[in-house]
Amino acid sequence: MVNGEQSCHWHAIRDLNYMMWLAKADKGERRATQHHLRHIIGIDMPQEDIQHVSKKEKVELSKQIADAEEEIQRLAHSLYGRGYEQVATYVRRIKKTLFTYLKFWILSGLISPRASSMIERMMREIGRRLKRMAFGWSEKGAAKMACIIKRFTTVDQWGAYWKQKLRINDNVILTLRAIKYA
């Protein structure tokens, strides 16, 4: 069974910098370690929300996950050897939940976000689009996105959204993170 918690990749990399700063690592070493972690966790996923995973893809993804987790363990061991014991502990701890989204995809065929929550992912996208000229939205477009956030935060609307998205017609029980929705 896959642990329901997903560590946000962006926060993992950013917090690694902070942990190393607390340990008095110089800026160059912090940046190099962040770059190394970014490289390790950079496993690509499809763009669709739902995609079947073939047996060959499952084997390949499982190997990529195992290799990445092994590389993270080596990074933690290296950090420990350089005297960054708390940073090494942090890296070992986040390793457990960095690939939950991939493990969930392998088991279910459903794509899930790398961010720790849908709201966080949506807020990032809204901020990106509102700040950049090329992605600029009108006030009407931004208001529509705010309505989507409202849907995320309203349990009934969220359930209705997924019922429609997954074409559930009340003859299936969908269980997500220990919440049963019939």
| pLDDT single digits (tens) 54-98 | 788 888 888 988 999 999 999 999 999 999 999 999 999 888 888
Q: Where are the alpha helices (DSSP H) in the chain?
A: 9-22, 27-40, 55-81, 85-95, 100-108, 118-131, 139-153, 155-165
pLDDT score, position 84:
92
**CB-count exposure of residue 106 (10 Å: 0-12, 13-18, 19+):** middle
Residues 6+ apart with CB under 8 A from 76: 88, 89, 91, 92, 95
Highest mean pLDDT: which range of 22-26, 133-137, 142-146: 22-26
What is the pLDDT, as a whole number, of residue 40?
A: 87
Q: How confident is the model at residue 1 (pLDDT cuts 50, 70, 90)?
A: very low
Q: What pLDDT band is residue 38 in, cutting at 50, 70 and 90?
A: confident
Q: How far is the CA of 44 from the CAs of 41, 47, 143, 146, in angstroms?
A: 9, 9, 31, 28
What are the pLDDT digits (tens) for 102-118? 787 777 766 655 555 55
Q: pTM of this prediction?
A: 0.57
